[in-house]
Structure 1
Amino acid sequence: MTRKLPTITEAKAEARRLRQQLSDQGTQTGHAQSLELVAQRYGFRDWNALHASIRDLPPEAWVPGGRVRGRYLAQPFEARIVSARPVRPGWFRLALELDEAVDVVRFDSFSNHRKHVQCVVGPSGTSREKTSDGTPHVVLEM
């Protein structure tokens, strides 16, 4: 059976759901075993083989020309992806062209609008960089 390969985040979420389903049916499994079962569903011999195949693949929308939406410095946006490059497994440097410029300053007496943004986001669609209140600079809807 061939299926579109999931991202690492999607595969792990699928493993958690599978583990819960099996538990509801009275079969206790560990997280590692559920990861192995998910890998086998996609035709791989084990989790390591599946992980190696998908670790450098961005989510389907994270390709040049793709569309994303989310929040940049807590402000909503929609954007076209100009470029997407892997930085390390599961992390990607994205160059975004926002549909509408976003004011990146929170002061009433000053504004600074940006229409082009570069960011590095991880498997959950958030940046490591955070504002002073702990909010990630970029949060993409997944």
Structure 2
Amino acid sequence: MTPNSLPFPSRDVLKSQAKRLRSDLAARGQILSHAQALETIAHQWGARDWNTLSAQAGQSASGWHPGQRVTGRYLGHSFAGAVKAARQASSGFWTLTVRFDEPVDVVTSPLFSSLRRQVDTTINAEGVSPNKTSDGQPHMVLKPA
């Protein structure tokens, strides 16, 4: 699948990608201007230049990004937290690392507990995981806070 067949993230997400690119290259001793980083990101997404990509991306808030506050249910337990890492995967899915504000008990047994503070998950653009529990509920249901 080519990059330009994926839905475009928001401009803010694309700008964050450019900022990380500059930082990574600077750590290796390669200096890149902000404009050069934006143009590079545009080319990686299959656009002619940053202005073209920016117009295609629009100002939509679609997509998930690090630092984003979220709420939802994980294995049936309500939570609030933040996206620690986000990567757009194929076919409109996202791979996220979510850090809970308070640990979530992922066990239904009254005999013991297993608390999780952070989980990796795959969700669609609507924030619902394709994986389901034995009773048919999605593992993760996520929404922006």
Q: Common fold, TM-score beyond 0.5?
A: yes
What is the aligned-residue RMSD (CA, Å)? 2.2
Distance in 2, matches of 1:77 and 1:114, equals: 11
What residue is the counterpart of 2:27 in the other structure? none
Give 1:80 shift.
1.0
Give 1:58 shift.
7.4
- Asked if residue 126 in structure 1 is aligned to residue 128 in structure 2, the reply is yes
What residue is the counterpart of 1:11 in the other structure? none
Aligned residues: 89
Match among 62, 74, 77 for residue 75 of structure 1: 77
Matched residue of 2:89: which SS? Answer: strand
Distance in 2, matches of 1:58 and 1:89, equals: 18
- Asked if residue 116 in structure 1 is aligned to residue 79 in structure 2, the reply is no
Q: TM-score, normalised by structure 1?
A: 0.57
Kept after mapping to 2: 8 A contact 1:58/1:92: no
Percentage identity across paired residues of the two chains: 39
Distance in 1, matches of 2:135 and 2:100, equals: 24
Distance in 2, matches of 1:79 and 1:139, equals: 13
Change (3 A) 1:82 1:58: farther
Distance in 2, matches of 1:82 and 1:141, equals: 15
Structure 2: 5+ residue stretches without partners: 1-6, 9-55
- Asked if residue 136 in structure 1 is aligned to residue 138 in structure 2, the reply is yes
- Asked if residue 98 in structure 1 is aligned to residue 81 in structure 2, the reply is no
Amino acid at match of 1:128: P
What residue is the counterpart of 2:62 in the other structure? 59
Task: Give structure 1 regions of 4+ aligned residues with deviation exceeding 2 angstroms.
Answer: 57-60
Matched residue of 1:82: which SS? Answer: strand
Distance in 1, matches of 2:141 and 2:120, equals: 13
